[in-house]
Amino acid sequence: MKSARDIARDVRNGTTTAEHELASSLAAIHAKNDELNVFLFVDEEGALDAARRVDARVARGDDVGALAGVPIALKDNLCQVGVPTTAGSRILKGWRPPYNATVIDRLLDAGAVPMGKTNMDEFAMGSSTETSAYGATRNPLDTSRVPGGSSGGSASAVAADMTTISLGSDTGGSIRQPAAFCGLVGVKPTYGLVSRYGLIAFASSLDQIGPFAKNVADAATLLETIAGHDPMDSTSLPEPAPSLVRHVDDGVAGQRVGVVRELFEGADGEVVAEVERATAALRDAGATIVELSLPELHLGLSAYYLIAPAEASSNLARYDGVRYGLRVDADDVAAMNEATRTAGFGAEVKRRIMLGTYALSAGYYDAYYGQALKVRTQLIDVFRRAYQEADLLLGATAPSVAFSIGEKTANPLAMYLSDVFTIPTNLAGDAAVSVPFGVGDTGLPVGVQLLGPGRSEARLLAAARVLEVADGRS
Amino acid sequence: MAKLARLTLSDAELDEFTEQLGQVLEHANDIAALDLEGVVATAHPFGLINVAREDVLRESLSRDEVLAMAPDAQDGRFAVPRIMGEAP
């Protein structure tokens, strides 16, 4: 299987064409999509147009870009003009956005070929891609298991070789956890590094778009393409995209790696074993290992499951049956709003809206939401102190390998606990990478997580590359 | 809460959600019980700063494009069921 960078190189030098690469991707999608339920919509027409434009640019001798002719899968919460976009919800069924997310414009400028929209937990609320209104996605590595979530469709697309790269979004681990479950590299970028313009909002102070890839260099290439200031997002960092690809082989010599007990303690033995092996690999590559204990990180889970639902309950108020999406008719506006939302939202979204409404309501605000915001301050301080002792941190991405379909659907708290190692990074606004390292007892991939302060993507990807090489993946 | 959030729940859903959300709130008691007097709240990772741009016209979606997405539109406006009660 060629990498995204190989495809782009070959398209640029004329060894292959974007249209040919598109045909390979479509063939893989057609062969496997019925079984895996990865794509909610395959944009054959749009992809063909994009591929032909790339081939025409190559023929003219234009510099087509770092992703020339590379098919890419997009999570279904990214708006693309004219392409059905549902965020995995019944309430947006059939909706076609009138504008492109900034990341999609940047992909097209770099020559990428968007193949369509991938399944996800409804409004990204879930850790298994089982809360989608359009059915669960299966893990291509073991179809009895979940691919993780919420970006499970985008992870499965790459794991099933339908595309070499994809985009997801990460609010509490929704890129890193599915990357771990599907044996991929996944990056949660620094808050503000990638524009959120055109990303359907879940929890606006936590959401970030980021890449999935089979290898670190492809992930770096994709992240570099979509990063950088965007005036359409008021929370966008004010600087251009950082150089990432150039630093992928920088190594970890002289870096201080903090191994954080609370970021793997309680995980399954097969996961802990790989974190220990990754620690040794980084030490062998010249890093200094520092053992750290950050007990406050445990508070992240509770803070997150108050803050994210609070923001969601506000963000999802826009689905009122008036301007777009589903409407269920009733005698007056209030009844129409309620009937529309009742029919349009699934159980997990209703749970979170109610949790958020509760956390924000008079009488409970101080005890729950207000308290969670203070915990957020404490977590930021905890990380700041840790990054005085270490340049980057190491832990597990998830407490287990991919779990079985249906295993946690009846118990929301158990599902929420699968995000315990990934959530703190979102609350702090920092960067983190999940990189596959070894396999568990049943042969399923394990992901280890590298965490760094804001704007540390180059350092994290270089460390991920060290682990990729040590694991014999390239 | 369901009423506040404009959701209708069946009796079975009410029972199920009450139990499930009770567990989540019980877990959240670990932070509700903390003494965080004097700690500043963080609502946003890097603090929000107002971002302004030059006050010049630029292209945006047309009214027709926007209304084409609406479940119901009439005379260039979104159409909704009645808001006020009938006059007595």
In this prediction, residue B87 carries a pLDDT of 57
Dihedral sign computed on CA atoms, order A24, A25, A28, A34: negative
pLDDT tens for each residue of A113-172: 999 999 999 999 999 999 999 999 999 999 999 999 999 999 999 999 999 999 999 999
Which residue of chain B is at minimal alpha-carbon distance from A205? B44
pLDDT tens for each residue of A90-116: 999 999 999 999 999 999 999 999 999
Residues A15-34 have a mean pLDDT of 98
The percent of residues in chain A predicted with pLDDT above 90, rounded, is 99
Q: Is residue A293 part of a domain?
A: yes
Which residue of chain A is at minimal alpha-carbon distance from B38? A374
Global ipTM: 0.92
Q: Which residue has the tokens 């890097």?
A: B46
Chain A nearest CA to B88, separation (Å):
17
Strand A71-75 to strand A113-118: parallel, antiparallel, or no bridges (unpaired)? parallel
Could you say which of B13, B41, B61 has the minimum Cβ distance to residue A374?
Answer: B41
In this prediction, residue B84 carries a pLDDT of 75
Asked if the model's pLDDT at residue B49 lies above 80, the reply is: no
Could you say which of A301, A302, A350 has the minimum Cβ distance to residue B7?
Answer: A350
Asked if the model's pLDDT at residue A84 lies above 60, the reply is: yes
- 8 Å CB contact between A179 and A185: yes
The domain spanning residue A267 has which CATH number?
Answer: 3.90.1300.10
Which residue of chain B is at minimal alpha-carbon distance from A298? B30
Could you say which of A326, A368, A411 has the minimum Cβ distance to residue B32?
Answer: A368
In this prediction, residue B51 carries a pLDDT of 85
pLDDT tens for each residue of A262-320: 999 999 999 999 999 999 999 999 999 999 999 999 999 999 999 999 999 999 999 99
CA A133 to chain centre: 19
| Inter-chain touch B81–A416, beta carbons under 8 Å | no
Note whether A180 and A268 are same-domain residues.
no
Note whether A172 and A26 are same-domain residues.
yes
Asked if the model's pLDDT at residue A54 lies above 80, the reply is: yes
pLDDT tens for each residue of A322-357: 999 999 999 999 999 999 999 999 999 999 999 999
Could you say which of B31, B65, B80 has the minimum Cβ distance to residue A371?
Answer: B31
Q: Is residue A373 part of a domain?
A: no
Per-residue confidence band for A425, with pLDDT thresholds at 50, 70 and 90: very high
Interface test with B, best of A207, A313, A413 (most B CBs within 10 A): A413
| Inter-chain touch A367–B32, beta carbons under 8 Å | yes
If you count residue pairs, one on A and one on B, with CB atoms under 8 Å apart, how many are there? 160
Could you say which of A306, A327, A353 has the minimum Cβ distance to residue B28?
Answer: A306
Note whether A97 and A156 are same-domain residues.
yes
| Inter-chain touch A413–B8, beta carbons under 8 Å | no
Q: DSSP per residue over A147-205, as a string? A: --SSSHHHHHHHHTTS-SEEEEEESSSTTHHHHHHHT-EEEEPPTTSB--TTBPPSSTT
| Inter-chain touch A235–B48, beta carbons under 8 Å | yes
Note whether A79 and A142 are same-domain residues.
yes
Strand A113-118 to strand A208-213: parallel, antiparallel, or no bridges (unpaired)? unpaired
Which residue of chain B is at minimal alpha-carbon distance from A329? B81
Note whether A130 and A232 are same-domain residues.
yes
In this prediction, residue A247 carries a pLDDT of 98
Note whether A404 and A342 are same-domain residues.
no
Note whether A394 and A292 are same-domain residues.
yes
Note whether A201 and A142 are same-domain residues.
yes
Considering only CB atoms, which chain B residues are within 8 Å of A424? none
| Inter-chain touch B28–A333, beta carbons under 8 Å | no
Chain A nearest CA to B19, separation (Å):
10
End-to-end CA distance of chain A: 12
Interface test with A, best of B7, B13, B29, B63 (most A CBs within 10 A): B7
| Inter-chain touch B80–A322, beta carbons under 8 Å | yes
Considering only CB atoms, which chain B residues are within 8 Å of A427? 45
In this prediction, residue B52 carries a pLDDT of 86
- 8 Å CB contact between A51 and A85: no
Burial of B65 (0-12, 13-18, 19+ CB in 10 A): exposed
Note whether A463 and A338 are same-domain residues.
no
Interface test with B, best of A90, A205, A374, A411 (most B CBs within 10 A): A374
| Inter-chain touch B7–A354, beta carbons under 8 Å | yes
Kindly list the distances between the CA atom of residue A365 and the CA atoms of A355, A358, B24, in Å, as whole numbers in the listed order.
12, 8, 16
Considering only CB atoms, which chain B residues are within 8 Å of A368? 25, 28, 32
Single out the residue in A343, A366, A389 at which a domain terminates.
Answer: A366
pLDDT tens for each residue of A363-413: 999 999 999 999 999 999 999 999 999 999 999 999 999 999 999 999 998
Note whether A338 and A216 are same-domain residues.
no
Average pLDDT, chain A: 97
Chain B nearest CA to A331, separation (Å):
6
Q: pTM for this structure?
A: 0.97
Chain B nearest CA to A267, separation (Å):
19
Q: Is residue A200 part of a domain?
A: yes
Per-residue confidence band for A216, with pLDDT thresholds at 50, 70 and 90: very high
Could you say which of B21, B50, B80 has the minimum Cβ distance to residue A354?
Answer: B21
Which residue of chain A is at minimal alpha-carbon distance from B36? A374
Burial of A441 (0-12, 13-18, 19+ CB in 10 A): exposed
Q: Is residue A243 part of a domain?
A: no
In this prediction, residue A298 carries a pLDDT of 93
Per-residue confidence band for B50, with pLDDT thresholds at 50, 70 and 90: confident
Considering only CB atoms, which chain A residues are within 8 Å of B43? 205, 373
Question: Which strand (E) or helix (H) includes residue A75?
Answer: strand A71-75
Count of structural domains, chain A: 3
In this prediction, residue A178 carries a pLDDT of 98
Q: DSSP per residue over A254-312, as a string? A: T-EEEEEGGGTTTS-HHHHHHHHHHHHHHHHTTPEEEEE--GGGGHHHHHHHHHHHHHH
| Inter-chain touch A357–B4, beta carbons under 8 Å | yes
Q: Is residue A246 part of a domain?
A: no
Positions of A marked active-site: 75, 150, 174
Which residue of chain B is at minimal alpha-carbon distance from A379? B42
Which residue of chain A is at minimal alpha-carbon distance from B6? A338
Single out the residue in A323, A346, A366 at which a domain terminates.
Answer: A366
Kindly list the distances between the CA atom of residue A461 and the CA atoms of A155, A203, A259, B24, in Å, as whole numbers in the listed order.
18, 26, 17, 35
Note whether A190 and A232 are same-domain residues.
yes
Q: Is residue A465 part of a domain?
A: yes
In this prediction, residue B86 carries a pLDDT of 61
In this prediction, residue B88 carries a pLDDT of 56
Note whether A166 and A178 are same-domain residues.
yes
Considering only CB atoms, which chain B residues are within 8 Å of A342? 7-9
| Inter-chain touch A326–B71, beta carbons under 8 Å | yes
In this prediction, residue B43 carries a pLDDT of 86
Q: Is residue A120 part of a domain?
A: yes
Residues A187-199 have a mean pLDDT of 98
Per the structure, the complete domain to which residue A351 belongs is given by 302-366
Single out the residue in A366, A393, A418 at which a domain terminates.
Answer: A366
Q: Is residue A249 part of a domain?
A: no
Residues B29-41 have a mean pLDDT of 93
In this prediction, residue B44 carries a pLDDT of 85
